[in-house]
Amino acid sequence: MRILLCGDVLGRSGREAVAKYLPNLKKDLAIDLVVVNVDNAAHGFGVTGEMARQFFEMGADVLTGGNHLFDQREAPALLENEKRLLRPANMPSTVAGTGIVEISVKNGLKAAVVHLIGQRFMPLIGENPFDYMNQFLLKYKMGVNVHAIVVEFHAEATSEKVALGHFLDGRVSVVVGTHTHVPTADERILEHGTAFQTDIGMCGDYDSVIGMDKRTSLDGFAKGYSRGKFSPASGEATFCSLLVDTDDSTGLATATETITIGGRLKPSSKLAATFIPRQKQ
């Protein structure tokens, strides 16, 4: 199975980057499953129903959120009606929506996507993600009832994200971090076969402070206060993502590669030989 995970989409420029690059990537690289984080898609704060619909039309199969998902008034109703839009699974069961979805892809293969929220320095309160995944993996097993398990961990602390990667190594296909909007250069396959990246970055304008207009942020840090209202930077966005191939029999990763296109970040020089475009089966 070929999986593409896209970093936090931030504002209009981020949405435009996804619209510009995702459809062709999905087609040219014969990608089977696309997961897009939309926690900041609506002017930096959550996602609207119309935007969610547009992301699915662009080629997304699953949308994830995070700590800003509930900033939009329509979020609870949207989460109840659109099961492919995930809120963190380890939030209380009384919260609207779900954090798990099963997706059928080529040739009857099935993937489970799990969205989690971190517990260090995060405003949302949820169950311990490590305990949650232990319970989750009693039901979902690669090579038994699913062919791949994708875990997207929306967390602040890099240590917490790295720890979860090692904790799940060999038990899931891929663990990726989101939320900090800065791509880390540690994409790899862990010892027991799980693909991992601490943070896949954002689809947003990097001439900014983590996607927001830099002038307001600079005032806050330099003066100790800021009277301005945060708004997304509006320049050309960089599309940041991680591409993963998995073995259909074991669910474990066989190759991984970052894809960085457009905007101010250095683009991916080339795709690894293992990611030569292939025919869709």
Rounded to an integer, what distance in angstroms lies between the CA atom of residue 193 and that of residue 116? Answer: 20
The DSSP 8-state label assigned to residue 204 in this structure reads: B
Among candidate residues 43, 68, 179, 181, the one labeled active-site is 68
Asked if 204 and 214 count as a contact pair (C-beta separation under 8 A), the reply is no
Rounded to an integer, what distance in angstroms lies between the CA atom of residue 151 and that of residue 35? Answer: 10
- Number of helices and strands (H, E) in the chain? 6, 14
Torsion sign (Cα): 100, 36, 200, 180:
negative
Rounded to an integer, what distance in angstroms lies between the CA atom of residue 173 and that of residue 116? Answer: 15
- Residue among 193, 189, 219, 206 at smallest CA distance from 267: 206
- Residue among 184, 174, 183, 193 at smallest CA distance from 244: 174
Helix ranges restricted to H, the chain: 11-28, 49-58, 75-81, 129-139, 158-168, 214-223
Asked if 80 and 96 count as a contact pair (C-beta separation under 8 A), the reply is yes
Q: 202: which 2 tokens?
A: 């954002």
68 is catalytic: yes
Q: In 191-271, at which residue ranges do the beta strands (DSSP E only) sit?
A: 195-197, 202-203, 239-246, 253-261
Residues labelled catalytic: 68
